[in-house]
Chains A and B, each alone.
Chain A
Amino acid sequence: MQELIVTPEAQGEPMPGAAFEPAIVAFVCNWCTYTAADLAGTSRMVQSPNVRLVRMMCTGMVDPKYIIKALLGGADAVLISGCHPGDCHYINGNYKARRRVKLLMEILPRFGIDSRRIKLTWVGASEGNEFAATVNSFAAEIKELGPIDTRRLPLL
C-alpha cells in the first residue's frame, strides 16, 4: 500500500482533479465540546473528516498564538469551541476566549487572513448533534472558501 505524505512545503497546491480537502484544527474544551464530540461519536453522527480536535482544558487557555500557529502551519481554518456562556467549568474562561477571538478576528484580515477562517462556537456536553452539525457546516464553508495561501501573506 502506497502512502503519500504531502509535506508542508507542497501545501496549498491541490493535486490536479482532486477536490480541495481542508485541514481544520479545532481547539475544544475538555468539559463541553470535547464531551459533545465523544457523544456525537457514540451516537455515530457522521462528520466531515477535515476537522481534527486539540483537547484543551478550557477555551480560556487558547492563546491567540496557537490559532495563528495553526493557520501558518497549514491549517485552512480554526474552530474554537467551549461551554455556553455562563456554563464554563472554570467560571468564566469562555468569556476570555470570546474577547480574544473577537480581537484576533479584527487583526487577522489586515495580514491577509480571511476572518471567516476562524470560528468560535459554544457546544455543550450534551449537544452531540450540535457538534456534528457545527463540524459539517464549518467544513463546507471552508471548502467553499478554498485553501489558505500562507506563502502569499504579507507577514511571511
Chain B
Amino acid sequence: MPSRIGVYVCHCGTNIAGRVDSEGVARHASGLKNVAVARDYKFMCSDPGQDMIIKDIREMGLTRVVVASCSPRLHEKTFQKACQRGGLNPFLFQMTCIREHCSWVVADPAEATAKAKTLVAAAVSRVNEHEELYSRVEAVHPDVLVVGGGIAGIQAALDIARSGHKVHMVERGPSIGGHMTQFDKTFPTLDCAACISTPKMVAVAQEPNINLMTMSEVVEVKGYVGNYTARIRTKPRYINQDRCTGCGLCMEKCPKSVPSEFEEGLGKRKAVHRNSPQSVPNTPVIDPASCIYLVKGKCGACKQNCPSDAIDFEQQESFLDVQVGTIVLATGFDILDPTPLSQYGFGRYPEVYTGLQFERLNNAVGPTGGKIRMKNGEAPESVAIIHCVGSRDKNQHEYCSRVCCMYALKYDHLIKDKVGHHARVYNFYIDMRCFGKGYEEFYRRVQEEGVTFIRGRPAEVTDQARSEDEQGKLVVVAEDTLLGRPVRVAVDMVVLCTAMQARKDASEVARVFGVSCGQDGFFLEEHPKLGPVSTATDGIFLAGTCQGPKDIPDAVAHASGGAGQALSLAARGEVSISPTVSWINPDICIGCKMCVGLCAYSAIEFDERRRVCVINEAMCKGCGSCAGHCPSGAAQIRHFNEKQVFAELEGLTQRIVPVRQPAAADLT
C-alpha cells in the first residue's frame, strides 16, 4: 500500500517566510509522489500547528509526516510526540531544516525557495522508507557522579545528596573548595569568601550521602545514560586519612620548603602541606616530588613526629569502579598565565601580580597575613589595575571573562580600605561590565571612593623612567581613548586582571566523558540558550565554569541547574533509549567478522552456531561503523539504512531551478 504523506511547511513568523515562499514550497510538495496533503502554517511548533498534524493523521489517515521548519535538533522531538499523539509511530516522521540551513543563510529568495523545495522533496522521498521503531526503556542507576570539588561541584553534590540520592564526588586536588578558597572577599557584597564557602565544604564532609574522593581523577567512563561505570584513580596521599587528626605537627617538622601553588607562588609550603586549616578533608598531603624521604629514601621527620602514626609512605595508587546513572561535570577553570604577554612585564618586574596573586595578598591566611604589601614589605602608595588581560583579545581569548571588571572594583575598594584613602588606584579598562545584581551600585560606590578610571588598554608596563617622578616606579603607558591622549602613570604595583580560561587538559577530560569542547576551549553545552547545562551526551551535565567564565552566583545557579537535571533522570528511575541502533540481517551476513573488530563498543558478537554476527542492542550506540563497512550490506542502522539514505539522495539531487518573480518595474 503506498504511503499517505502529510507535508507541513512552517513560516516561523518571518524567519522562514521572509525569504522562502513557504506557500509555494507546500504547493510544490503537494505534487510529489504519495503526498496526500501539504499545508503551510505560521508556527508549526505551536499548539494549533501540532493539532493540525494530529487532526490530519486521524481524519485523513496519514501514514507518514514531514515537517519543514527549523533544525531537527530543536523541534524533532516536539513533532515526533505530536505524531505519537495522533496515533502514528514517531519514527514515521521526517523533519527537514529550511530555516538554519536555508532561509537564514541563502541571500536570494528565489534560490532559498528552490533549495527549500529540494530539501522537502528529499524528506518526502526518505519518509516513504521509514519503518516503525520502538524505544526501549532502561532503568537509571540512582547514584550520581560529580566531577570537581569547587563551589559548583559542592553545590551540585549537596543538592543531589539532600534529595536522598548517593553522590560520588571526585576531586583532583587534596581538598575541595576550588578557586573560591583562594579569594579573600567576594564582590559586590564583600562577603568573606571563606566564611561563605567553608560551611558548604564542611556540609559535604558531613553529608552521609556523599562519598568524597580527593586526590582522585576519573580515567575511564563506560556505558550509557542511566548506566555509566566510571573508573576512578586515587593517587596516594601518603597519610592515612582515618588516623590523621589534622593536628599539623608533620607540617611543622617537615624540613623541606617549596613555592606554594595555592599561594600562587607568593608563599612557601612544606613538602607535607595542606591549603589552609579549614581544608576539607583537613588531612595534609605529602608531595612525592619534593618529599625528601620519597625522593632520596631518607628523612621521615613527619613519620617520627606524628602522634597518631598516620604517615604511610607505602600507600599506592588505587582504582575504584563506581556505578552511576548520571554525571555532573564541574571541573572549573584555569587562570591565564600572563608571562607570554611580555608587554605587561609579568615575571620580569616583581611588582606585577596576577589577579589571583593579589587575592592571596589580601587573604588573612595568605603570605602577608591579609596586608597589601609589596615584596619589600611596604604598602604600595599607588596601584594600577589592568583589565582584560588575555580577554577580549584576538591573540588570546576573544571572549569576555565576565568577572574581571567586578573583581577589579573589589580590589579598588580593598586598596582604599586597607592601605588608606591616600593610596591612588588607576583602572585601565576597555568597557566596564557590571551587569549583575548589585554590581552597578558597587561600581558607583567605588567611583565615589575616589578611584581613577582610564579607558584604554595599556601598551606596556615599563621601568624606564622619563622623569624624576617615574624613578623607581613601574610606568603604565596607555592611550586614554576618551581624551584621545597618551598617558604615562607611575605606580608602585600593577595588578593584571588575567582571563579565565578552560582547564589545560579540558579536551582530554572531554574525551573521557564523551562531551565536546567549544572554540573557546570550554565544554560545549547542548544549546547556548535552552540547554546551557546539558551536553550532547545524554546523562552528562555541566556545572559552573567548565562551561564558560562565570562569577560565583552564576556558577552556583548553573550547578543547581545541572544537579536538577541529573536528579530528574535519577528520580524518574527510567529512561527511554533510542531504537536507532544497528541490526545485522542474518540472511545476508556472511560471517566475515569485519564489523566485530570495527565496533568501538564491543557490541557485536559472532554466533558460532549460525555463523553470523549479532548486535547486542544494549551496548550498540548506533554509530554505524559496522554499517559503513559491511561488505555484504547485512549491517544497517535503523532509521539510517541504505534504502532511506538512497531515497533521500534521490530527492536531494533533483535540480529545481529558482524561479524569479518579475520585479514590479518589469511588469509595466
Binding site for B on A (CB under 8 A): 1-6, 8, 11, 15, 21, 23, 25, 30-32, 34-35, 37-38, 40-42, 44-47, 49, 52-58, 60-63, 65-66, 69-70, 73-75, 83, 86-87, 89-93, 96-97, 100, 124-127, 132
Assembled-state Cα–Cα distance A38/B531 (Å):
15
B624 touches A38 (CB 8 A): no
Assembled-state Cα–Cα distance A110/B424 (Å):
76
B115 touches A61 (CB 8 A): no
6 extra A-B contacts, CB within 8 A, seeds A91-B600, A93-B623: A34-B71, A44-B105, A49-B112, A60-B625, A74-B653, A89-B536
Residue of B nearest to A129 (CB): B519
Assembled-state Cα–Cα distance A8/B100 (Å):
27
- B516: which A residues are within 8 A, CB to CB? 31-32, 83, 87, 89, 124-126
Interface size on B, as a range, is: 35 or more
A58 touches B645 (CB 8 A): no
21 intermolecular pairs with C-beta atoms under 8 Å apart: A5-B657, A6-B656, A15-B657, A31-B516, A38-B101, A46-B107, A49-B106, A53-B97, A57-B623, A60-B623, A61-B637, A63-B645, A66-B645, A66-B646, A75-B653, A86-B507, A87-B517, A96-B625, A97-B628, A124-B516, A125-B516
B659 touches A3 (CB 8 A): yes
Take A69-B649, A125-B516, A125-B524 as given contacts and tell me if A46 and B105 are in contact as well, using a CB distance cutoff of 8 Å.
yes
Take A55-B72, A75-B653 as given contacts and tell me if A61 and B625 are in contact as well, using a CB distance cutoff of 8 Å.
yes
Q: What sequence of 0s and 1s flags, for each residue 94-105 of chain B, a beta carbon within 8 Å of any chain A beta carbon?
A: 000101111011
Instruction: Kindly state whether residue B640 has any CB partner on chain A within 8 Å.
Output: yes
CB distance from A83 to the nearest CB of B (A): 7
CB distance from B48 to the nearest CB of A (A): 25
Assembled-state Cα–Cα distance A24/B652 (Å):
9
A74 touches B642 (CB 8 A): no
B519 touches A124 (CB 8 A): yes
- B97: which A residues are within 8 A, CB to CB? 38, 41, 53
A73 touches B653 (CB 8 A): yes
A100 touches B637 (CB 8 A): no
B657 touches A58 (CB 8 A): no
B622 touches A66 (CB 8 A): no
A2 touches B659 (CB 8 A): yes
B105 touches A8 (CB 8 A): no
Take A44-B104, A96-B629 as given contacts and tell me if A8 and B654 are in contact as well, using a CB distance cutoff of 8 Å.
yes
Instruction: Kindly state whether residue B167 has any CB partner on chain A within 8 Å.
Output: no
Instruction: Kindly state whether residue B438 has any CB partner on chain A within 8 Å.
Output: no
Instruction: Kindly state whether residue B40 has any CB partner on chain A within 8 Å.
Output: no
Take A89-B514, A96-B598 as given contacts and tell me if A56 and B659 are in contact as well, using a CB distance cutoff of 8 Å.
no
B600 touches A92 (CB 8 A): yes
Assembled-state Cα–Cα distance A38/B102 (Å):
10
- B108: which A residues are within 8 A, CB to CB? 49
Residue of B nearest to A83 (CB): B516
B624 touches A54 (CB 8 A): no
B653 touches A63 (CB 8 A): no
- Across the interface, B580 reaches (CB within 8 A) one of A38, A57, A63, A91, namely A57
Instruction: Kindly state whether residue B217 has any CB partner on chain A within 8 Å.
Output: no
Assembled-state Cα–Cα distance A8/B373 (Å):
80
B653 touches A70 (CB 8 A): yes
Instruction: Kindly state whether residue B650 has any CB partner on chain A within 8 Å.
Output: yes
Assembled-state Cα–Cα distance A52/B654 (Å):
11
A37 touches B519 (CB 8 A): no
- B621: which A residues are within 8 A, CB to CB? 90
Take A11-B655, A60-B623, A89-B537 as given contacts and tell me if A38 and B105 are in contact as well, using a CB distance cutoff of 8 Å.
no
A6 touches B105 (CB 8 A): no
B659 touches A1 (CB 8 A): yes
B111 touches A49 (CB 8 A): yes
A57 touches B650 (CB 8 A): no
Instruction: Kindly state whether residue B661 has any CB partner on chain A within 8 Å.
Output: yes
Instruction: Kindly state whether residue B412 has any CB partner on chain A within 8 Å.
Output: no
A52 touches B24 (CB 8 A): no
CB distance from A53 to the nearest CB of B (A): 6
- B655: which A residues are within 8 A, CB to CB? 5-6, 11, 21, 23, 74
B24 touches A1 (CB 8 A): yes
Residues 114-153 of B contacting A (Cβ, < 8 Å): 114-115, 118-119, 122
A42 touches B100 (CB 8 A): yes
A57 touches B105 (CB 8 A): no
Take A52-B118, A57-B640, A66-B645 as given contacts and tell me if A46 and B106 are in contact as well, using a CB distance cutoff of 8 Å.
yes
**Chain A CB within 10 Å — which of B598, B646, B654, B656 has the most?**
B654
- B657: which A residues are within 8 A, CB to CB? 4-6, 15
CB distance from B80 to the nearest CB of A (A): 15
Assembled-state Cα–Cα distance A132/B120 (Å):
22
- A92: which B residues are within 8 A, CB to CB? 600, 625
Q: What sequence of 0s and 1s flags, for each residue 61-80 of chain B, a beta carbon within 8 Å of any chain A beta carbon?
A: 00000000001111000000
A25 touches B642 (CB 8 A): no
B623 touches A8 (CB 8 A): no
- Across the interface, A4 reaches (CB within 8 A) one of B106, B622, B648, B659, namely B659
- Across the interface, B652 reaches (CB within 8 A) one of A15, A38, A52, A90, namely A52
Instruction: Kindly state whether residue B518 has any CB partner on chain A within 8 Å.
Output: yes
A60 touches B106 (CB 8 A): no
B652 touches A25 (CB 8 A): yes
Instruction: Kindly state whether residue B375 has any CB partner on chain A within 8 Å.
Output: no
Instruction: Kindly state whether residue B256 has any CB partner on chain A within 8 Å.
Output: no
Residue of A nearest to B536 (CB): A31
Assembled-state Cα–Cα distance A124/B111 (Å):
27
- B418: which A residues are within 8 A, CB to CB? none
- A34: which B residues are within 8 A, CB to CB? 71, 73
A61 touches B640 (CB 8 A): yes
- B101: which A residues are within 8 A, CB to CB? 37-38, 41, 53
Assembled-state Cα–Cα distance A11/B71 (Å):
30
